[in-house]
Chain A
Amino acid sequence: QSVLTQPPSASGTPGQRVTISCSGSSSNIGSHNIYWYQQLPGTAPKLLIYANNQRPSGVPDRFSGSKSGTSASLAISGLRSEDEAEYHCAAWDDSLSGWVFGGGTKLTVL
């Protein structure tokens, strides 16, 4: 069981906007920044969003992040077939003195 809770799957059609949630607690998301990673099949994770809502250079502005209280969301607008991947959230946890990840959400582009 992952400390951060994500829905196991999500889906959308090309051009649609989809959101993926990540729920935690006061010791992780409630106290620290949230991070999002995109993992294409058979590859290593890639940083998508850092510090809640910042995009590294090269990440399209179709990807955005937000955080409220002990929950966070990743939004993808103008969905494209190449967005089909697994998405993971992460945050530092004070109680565990370590990083915790969500279980991952598999996004399918229909």
Chain B
Amino acid sequence: QVQLVQSGAEVKKPGASVKVSCKASGYTFSSHDINWVRQATGQGLEWMGWMNPNSGNTGYAQKFQGRVTMTRDTSISTAYLDLSSLRSEDTAVYYCARTCRGNGCAEFDFWGLGTLITVSS
């Protein structure tokens, strides 16, 4: 069965960087894009960007341009989210989720359980 397993919670100081991993299993890693979506407490879902695991191509939400990097290691079917220059407003649960590239398919059909990132001095 399809699973996206994320790394554990982290506490970071303002100005630091964080790297979150998302290990895919149960399907061909290259067949779906991996997206990152975050959710602050009591807030809605906020899309951060996508990555094509096959080509490594990425697309980031304008809000995160310059601070976010999405990469992958195809040998272990794992995607990574790097977020730098952290501030308190980045405190949120970060989810990875896969999308299927259009044509009426089931986008965001599987999600990881989420990784809580807390930014505090």
Chain A interface residues toward B at CB < 8 A: 2, 33, 35, 37, 43-47, 50-51, 54, 56, 88, 90, 92, 96-104
- The answer to the question of B35 belonging to the interface, with a C-beta cut-off of 8 Å to chain A, is yes
Output the least CB separation between A50 and chain B (Å): 4
Closest to B107 in A: A35
A97 to B87, CA, bound (A): 25
Output the least CB separation between A80 and chain B (Å): 23
Chain A at the B interface: SS class: strand
Q: What are 30 residue pairs bridging A and B, where the CB atoms are less than 8 Å apart in the complex?
A: A2-B44, A33-B104, A33-B107, A35-B108, A37-B45, A44-B95, A45-B97, A45-B108, A47-B107, A47-B108, A50-B109, A51-B105, A54-B104, A54-B106, A56-B106, A88-B45, A90-B47, A90-B107, A90-B108, A92-B102, A96-B62, A98-B47, A98-B59, A98-B61, A99-B47, A99-B50, A101-B44, A101-B46, A101-B47, A103-B44
Closest to A106 in B: B42
Q: Beyond A45-B45, A47-B106, A56-B109: 7 further Cβ-contacts under 8 Å?
A: A54-B106, A97-B59, A99-B50, A100-B47, A101-B37, A101-B46, A104-B43
